[in-house]
Copies of this chain bind each other. A is one copy, B any other.
Amino acid sequence: MSRPGTTPGPLSLNTATVREQWSLAQCIEGCARHGIRGISPWRDKLAEYGTANAARHIREARLTVTGLCRGGMFPAADAAGRRAAIEDNKRAIDDAAALNAQCLVLVVGGMPQGSKDLAGARQQVQDGIAAVLEHARAAKVPLAIEPLHPIYAADRACVNTLAQALDICDALGSKAGDGHLGVAVDVYHVWWDPDLARQIARAGSRVLAFHICDWLVPTSDLLLDRGMMGDGVIDIPAIRGMVEDAGYRGFCEVEIMSANNWWRRDPDEVLRTCIERHRSVV
């Protein structure tokens, strides 16, 4: 299943992959120890460590921060909630800037509790991104809208296809190449999309991040049963080919949320497996 004649971009560790085992400091050390050159922290771990400490440690370890997870979560039941979300996103942008992150990943949020207004939530997302775009531009932090699998439309992210994410980019005036607003392509969320190849080509240089894991059959949990690359049904090299054809030359960021398997293993074994699979099946 590998892509003949090409090697994938370098590996990055999204810290969600070992979140139950390691602190951010341990993740940084683990990456350094295993020769992994990129890292993508989550904000809870970052807050625990302190942004300045984390930035210094990551710099000393010479890691590239391929993204900060995550901004977004824009929709709210009232104006105060929406304002709070915007302020929180500005703080996330500042953190991403302090880490010199290649992007801030936006998991945009679902419908407010009790709402059935999906279109309204989607409009709130677009308005929320519009409200922080100038802050991001000034901080030189590209925003990467991550479309999430439609299974999460209600409660985590109401942006569910690349087409929809790119429509938002277009509506907010992002031109291919300006670099301030784009998308994160996570194979878990997009692999099923009949329109995938066309939309990745449309994204072009707006592909700001490429996330890898696998879709297991059967999947036992809607959120926390993601698979190691190669253990599922996703043709990862095919999707890698699409993002590379679109011009992407960045890292392959492994992000596996796996409550009953990888989160229970020795994290050094997890990293070794990521490295091995990155070589053999990505």
- A residues whose Cβ falls under 8 Å from a Cβ of B: 1, 111, 115-118, 122, 149-151, 153-155, 158, 160-161, 163-164, 167, 191-195, 215, 217-219, 222, 232-235
Contact = CB atoms under 8 A, between A and B. Distances in A.
Contacts of A235: 116-118
A194 B122 CA distance: 9
Contacts of A155: 217-218
Contacts of A150: 149-151, 192-193
A192 B233 contact: no
Contacts of A163: 194-195
Contacts of A149: 150-151
A148 to B, nearest CB: 10
Nearest to A215: B154
Identical copies of this chain, number: 2
B191 A118 contact: yes
Contacts of A217: 154-155
Interface centre among A1, A118, A164, A218 (most CB of B within 10 A): A118
Contact of A154 (B115, B116, B117, B233): B233
B194 A233 contact: no
21 contacts: A111-B233, A116-B235, A117-B235, A118-B191, A118-B192, A118-B233, A118-B235, A122-B194, A150-B150, A150-B192, A151-B151, A151-B219, A153-B192, A154-B215, A154-B232, A155-B218, A160-B192, A163-B195, A164-B194, A167-B194, A222-B222
